[in-house]
Chain A
């Protein structure tokens, strides 16, 4: 299913995973503050796969009905960041955030807005850390909610086509004692992968030359 990672060298892949891990770990702390419970994270995974393969990866272990908050980002490289849950769990997440005494009706009313706001905080936190580590600036779109299966989330049927290769970075998270799990995914198209490779290589070389100050 995962074709290969031939486009990335071992150190590039390592660097992307480590940088994404920093972004998501920082963002997890924002989520932790919102839900009042510890958020557990998996080890990050970095792959170059087709859109279609990426869409299958997000369906793994999940019902096909997914809900995602997505934001596009632009800068030296561009792509989309998504916070994804099985649909049934998004309500539980909202409930964790808005405190339990709300009725189910209230929670359903709030769901869209609360999800967008939660996604905004988490995805911005994640991307801001990545941008800071790489010393780059990124612009983020407003959050939007997408519902459907993996193919709908990753626009497999869209103009980009399912066979197109993307850089796919994801980390699972679980909210302890809340039976809420989901994941954060970053998706970048090929031109962005090339730009990102160049930036990551600058970053690696800066470390090797022991540039003074705040490296990584």
Chain B
């Protein structure tokens, strides 16, 4: 199954690192990139995004706020917050939003673990 993944990060380097990991572990999936929350919300409202990976520390709307906004319209979309900021509060707020947390520096293993869970969730009939 081929899914469409939205990568949201203000850093081009971070988007490159993420895309590189996808080329190794899910080469057939389609990636779309957004550099801020506005672009991300526009992409999500298009209705074709299956999964979102969102950087936390971005100028303007941060990744948790963006995840919360996506949740309002897409309660079942697998979403993960991606950050080196592993403080309890950040991970806790991601959990409250029913979002995953993928630590930076990104490893293939941690990304693959999130994507496996996301795939299972997408296969289940939506509630």
Q: Looking at chain A, what size class is its interface with the partner chain?
A: 20 to 34
Contact call A216/B57, Cβ cutoff below 8 A: no
Docked-complex contact A26 and B13, CB < 8 angstroms: no
Residue of A nearest to B60 (CB): A43
Q: Are B105 and A132 touching (Cβ within 8 A)?
A: yes
Please judge, given known A-B contacts A18-B14, A204-B13, whether A25 and B106 are in contact too, CB under 8 Å: no
Q: Which of B22-42 contact A (CB under 8 A)?
A: 23-24
Q: Does A101 contact B (CB under 8 A)?
A: no
Assembly CA distance A204 to B104 (angstroms): 16
Q: B13–A14 contact, CB under 8 A?
A: yes
Contact of A210 among B20, B57, B87, B106 (CB under 8 A): B20
Per the bound structure, the CA–CA distance linking A19 and B12 in Å amounts to 12
Tell me how many residues of B have a C-beta within 8 Å of chain A.
Answer: 26
Q: Assess A133 versus B105: contact at CB under 8 Å? Given A21-B57, A43-B59.
A: yes
CB within 8 Å for A21 and B84 given contacts A14-B12, A15-B13, A216-B13: yes
Q: A32 with B57: in contact, given A18-B14, A210-B20 (CB under 8 Å)?
A: no
Q: Which of A10, A129, A208, A210 has the most CB of B within 10 A?
A: A210
- Whether A25 touches B57, Cβ cut-off 8 Å, given contacts A32-B87, A215-B21, is yes
Residues of B within 8 A of A212 (CB): 24, 108
User: Which secondary structure dominates where chain A touches chain B?
Assistant: helix
User: How far, in whole Å, are A41 and B89 apart by their CA atoms in the complex?
Assistant: 13
User: Cβ of B20 and Cβ of A28 under 8 Å apart?
Assistant: no
Q: Evaluate contact between A22 and B107: CB separation under 8 angstroms.
A: no
Measured in the bound complex, the distance between the Cα atoms of B111 and A213 in whole Å is 12
Q: Which residues of A contact B88 (CB under 8 A)?
A: 32, 38
Would A129 and B105 count as touching, CB distance under 8 A?
A: yes
Verify B58–A43 contact, CB threshold 8 A. yes
Contact with B17, one of A23, A25, A213, A215 (Cβ below 8 angstroms): A215
Query: Which B residues have a C-beta under 8 Å from some C-beta of A?
Result: 10-14, 16-17, 20-21, 23-24, 57-59, 83-89, 104-108
